[in-house]
Chain A
């Protein structure tokens, strides 16, 4: 399990916000943590998978798409806050995220 320090946490959070702003064509300042990605931002479930792919590339994470899918089926990330928290978990646990089910 990787250790998640405050600096990386901030980096990941910024990355999530920047990704969502870009994908949903809104400014970062409009993004509040309790907004629903699908209902409020007109996003879709695949955006999360795309975002994790970016995270995977940036931090060389060992995480398979299928495992992200399995985790999300049980723990859907609806709000921006939940998306950020799931991204933290992916960073920390990588493929072992399925054990958190």
Chain B
């Protein structure tokens, strides 16, 4: 079987200087390979355009129905290769997660497994009212392996995450909203538009440097806050110097 990465992302733009990563792979946007995009290419693209926000969405009816199970089966005899590829893929998700930009997943239709794990790397998830969510890995004897077991509990708490992951149940957008998995539900086919509005609304009020400083603050570990307070003061001083008034 071909184990070469198969990028499944189209680069696009929208609204006022917003980058768009559009997942595309057939009707279901299956994630064939953990290295679902070329990280170097993504970095170059982001550097070139200095976007104020990034939206990840799916081409067509679904965000993504998750990993291509048939391909995963092909790694049965060489799981160490899959492990390496997953680690490479996770570097992409961590890079997206740490971007000093407003990142939003705009979700229509199915958002399952690896697709949901990609969505979890964003700051916000906006979902159409008819979107469906699931971590179906348990039904295959697996667990989420693309950061989902770490990011989901961080987002919705251990109890709810455990239930979603261990049951493999599919939940509606309304239930996802109740759990805090999504930030807002929208009308059908409106998730992308609302994502653009969200990015523009937030980005309008702050400069790129403010965003960068804020992101550096967010990166700090929960312990030993004093250096962080100092850093906050330093950034505050720096930003005062750059104020318009």
Residues of A that sit less than 8 Å from B by CB: 22-23, 42, 44, 46, 49-50, 53-54, 65-66, 69
Contact = CB atoms under 8 A, between A and B. Distances in A.
A interface, over-half SS: helix
B68 interface: no
Contact of B132 (A22, A46, A54): A46
A72 to B, nearest CB: 12
Contacts of A66: 169-170
13 contacts: A22-B188, A44-B27, A46-B62, A46-B109, A46-B132, A50-B109, A50-B130, A53-B132, A53-B172, A65-B169, A65-B170, A65-B171, A66-B170
Contacts of A54: 130
A49 B27 contact: no
Contacts of B119: none
B172 A65 contact: yes
B53 to A, nearest CB: 28
Contacts of B130: 50, 53-54
B26 to A, nearest CB: 11
Interface string B92-124: 000000000000000001100000000000000
A50 B111 CA distance: 13
Interface in B154-207: 169-172, 188
A46 B110 contact: yes
Interface residues of B, number: 13
Contacts of A49: 132, 170
A50 B171 CA distance: 11
Residue among B27, B170, B171 with max Cβ neighbours from chain A (10 Å) = B170
Residue among A23, A50, A53 with max Cβ neighbours from chain B (10 Å) = A50
A11 B123 CA distance: 40
Contacts of A65: 169-172
Given A46-B109, A50-B132, A53-B130, A23 B61 contact: yes
A52 B188 CA distance: 15
A23 B27 CA distance: 13
A46 B188 CA distance: 15
Residue among B61, B169, B171, B188 with max Cβ neighbours from chain A (10 Å) = B61
Contacts of B61: 23, 44
Interface string B193-224: 00000000000000000000000000000000
A41 B201 CA distance: 39
Interface string B120-140: 000000000010100000000
Nearest to A23: B61
Nearest to B130: A50
A42 B61 CA distance: 11
A96 to B, nearest CB: 19
A22 B128 CA distance: 15
Question: Across chains A and B, which 8 residue pairs bring their CB atoms closest together, nearest first?
Answer: A50-B130, A53-B172, A65-B170, A46-B110, A66-B169, A46-B132, A53-B130, A49-B132
Contact of B170 (A22, A23, A44, A69): A69
Interface string B27-67: 11000000000000000000000000000000001100000
A53 B109 CA distance: 12
Contacts of B169: 65-66
